[in-house]
Amino acid sequence: MNDAAKTSATPARHRRTGSGEPLLLLHAFTQTWHCWGGVIDELSNEFDILAPTLPFHWGGPVSDRPLTVAAGADHIEALMDEAGWETAHIAGNSLGGWIALELAQRGRARSVTAIASAGLWSRGSRHADRLRRKFQLGAFLAPLARGFANPALAVIGKATTMRTFCHRPGLVAPDLASIAMQSAGFCTARDINAIWPTDTALEILDRITTPTTIVFSARDRVIPPARFGAQLVTPSPGRRVVMLPDVGHVPMLEAPAKVAAEIRRTATEPVVDAI
């Protein structure tokens, strides 16, 4: 991994590696492409992988537009065009899952694996409104996470921040844990109301025909599946629904092989009406 994972140095903007069919990996809000590190290791022999960092995130580009799902999708489409990709298999986590579904709606996805995706709630959901307020508070406190580069404070970070991201933080590679803990502090996308789009991911999901797997994390503390999506998203022809046990909101950090298996399965096997 990049040495920036162990310091507060600005990390690389993206990772491009591997060979095969194109695979795009989109991270969660406040994270960077590094959270996909273990998944990249699992899949780089099978796919041509592009893992970018979103605008306003640590190491990512600055934009003259607020970060919204639509703006994020516009940015990713431009990257796909630069790579010569008309379409790609797309996997996204949380905000990245919402953007992945938006890209599918635009016809840019060969398949979608949405992992602990944000937006899988009904419009006007009181749970979603509470989550938005929690994100607003988190954005206000986020700069404090920069201190986790200090080895003494990193202990606190692992006990707090990593418990938010993961069910079992001890399974996370130390370099990935370091950058995951610090990344929130360097994310400058603070306008949560701007990020929150009008169309929910649930509405987008019902409009697409792309082969899709919706992956819920059973121990998700950020977007608990019982409140967000598990009762609303049902399997159908072309859509698979999976509940991963014993993982948190960013399962790539603690269980990269399991996440890679779901991405591989979605990209290579027909999606049937199964759970």
Annotated catalytic residue: which of 34, 75, 167, 249?
A: 249
How many C-beta neighbours within 10 Å does residue 107 have? 10
Quick check: is 249 catalytic?
Answer: yes
Could you give the C-alpha distances from 154 to 29, 135, 160, in angstroms and in order? 20, 22, 10
Could you give the C-alpha distances from 124 to 68, 197, 226, in angstroms and in order? 18, 12, 17
| H-only helix segments in the chain | 37-43, 69-83, 95-105, 126-141, 151-165, 174-186, 192-195, 201-205, 251-254, 256-268
Quick check: is 94 catalytic?
Answer: yes
Residues 145, 162: Cα–Cα separation, whole Å:
11
Residues facing 14 on adjacent strands: 52
**DSSP SS3 for 84:** coil
| Torsion sign across C-alpha atoms 122, 123, 128, 129 | negative
Annotated catalytic residue: which of 27, 75, 94, 111?
A: 94
Residues 145, 115: Cα–Cα separation, whole Å:
24
Which residues are catalytic, by number?
94, 220, 249
